[in-house]
Amino acid sequence: MRIEIWADMVCGWAHIGKRRLEKALASWEGEPVEVVWRPFQIDPSAPAKAEPLAGLLSDPMVEEALQVCSPGLSPSDNRARVAGIAAGEGLGAQWGATWRPNTLDAHRLIALAYETGGAALQSAVVERVLTAHFVQTLDIGDPGVLSAIAAESGVPWDGRGADLVRELLLTGKAKGVRTSPTIVVGGRALAGAQPPDVIRDFLADAAGQPARRLPAEVERLRHAESLLDQRDPLGALTLLRPLLDEHGTDRGVRLLAARAYFASAQLGRARTALEELVADVPDDSYVRHLLGRTLQRQGRPEEAATHLTLAAVMTPDYGDL
């Protein structure tokens, strides 16, 4: 059973959640598990060069970002509460971050650790990064800090992994991950750093009703559609890119790409894709309607009218739009 943990390395609950999951698994008697860490960002607007946290906690933008992993609490109240809980979990009395880093490179290191040595190495690197941030109070956005962790861990530290992390962030968004940490097993999710007994119950339920594994291409298509539904057409196109390269003749892939082009105002690409789809299936009223709207937005009313009229004849509801 694969356990995915979607978490950010600057979220204290992620450190606590790691300890609690380890305690839950220590007494787990079910099927073997693989724990894989996935990226999530609670503060994607953090600058490339880290800032000291002192004085930033009263910033409304920072407070809004931190609410993702501490809903209902002010940053100062949350820090005190989480520090106490962390001490209770054995993470040490001197626990608490001092930097506001951007975590993209830390996530890149963690993703490369999994590629290099699998779940065991990745877990060790995650522990090292969390300790650096919360116990050693280092800047985990600093290339030197990450390079040292990579060298200690035997992870090749080069320019690879950036595209993978971006895709994984979009995949988490498509799956509905909204907080750090979130444990995902199959199609089930458990949000927050829950107590070990709650985690064990969750894993037992997930193991008792295993989700049917879809082909990777189908999952990617569904995730792209989810992003489009969430009004992130550029994210949808990012996930669609490999499908367009490998399955560019598939009608479903082409139509979803056309919708994403239209939603992101790439009207030339939308028009080309939709004209090809209309040529393949002239009686598809939805494609006709979307092509008509694309032509309208391009300032081609006469051409648009032809397609909009045909779409309305085939599906009268389109005449009311």
User: What does the H/E/C string look like for 100-141?
Assistant: ECCCHHHHHHHHHHHHHHHHHHHHHHHHHHHHHHHCCCCCCC
Question: What local confidence, expressed as pLDDT, does residue 181 receive?
Answer: 96
Question: What local confidence, expressed as pLDDT, does residue 186 receive?
Answer: 86
Question: For the segment 99-128, what is each residue's pLDDT rounded down to a tens digit?
Answer: 999 999 999 999 999 999 999 999 999 999
Select from 187, 208, 229 the last residue of a domain. Answer: 208
Residues 141 and 17 in one domain: yes
Q: Which residues of the chain have pLDDT under 50?
A: none
Question: What local confidence, expressed as pLDDT, does residue 5 receive?
Answer: 98
Select from 208, 229, 257 the last residue of a domain. Answer: 208
Residues 169 and 224 in one domain: no
Question: What local confidence, expressed as pLDDT, does residue 69 receive?
Answer: 60
Question: What local confidence, expressed as pLDDT, does residue 61 receive?
Answer: 65
Structural domains counted in the chain:
2
Task: Describe the crossing of helices 251-263 and 285-297 by its angle, rounded to 10 degrees.
Answer: 30
Distance CA 162, CA 266 (A): 25
Question: What local confidence, expressed as pLDDT, does residue 68 receive?
Answer: 62
Is pTM beyond 0.85 here? Answer: yes
Q: Which two tokens stand for residue 95?
A: 């626990």
Select from 180, 208, 236 the last residue of a domain. Answer: 208
Residue 285 lies in domain: 216-320
Q: Is 85 helix (H, G, I), strand (E, B) or coil?
A: helix
What are the respective helix, strand and coil percentages of the chain, to the nearest 5?
60, 5, 35
Residues 94 and 14 in one domain: yes
Question: What local confidence, expressed as pLDDT, does residue 212 receive?
Answer: 75
| CATH number of residue 251's parent domain | 1.25.40.10
Question: What local confidence, expressed as pLDDT, does residue 96 receive?
Answer: 86
Residues 13 and 153 in one domain: yes
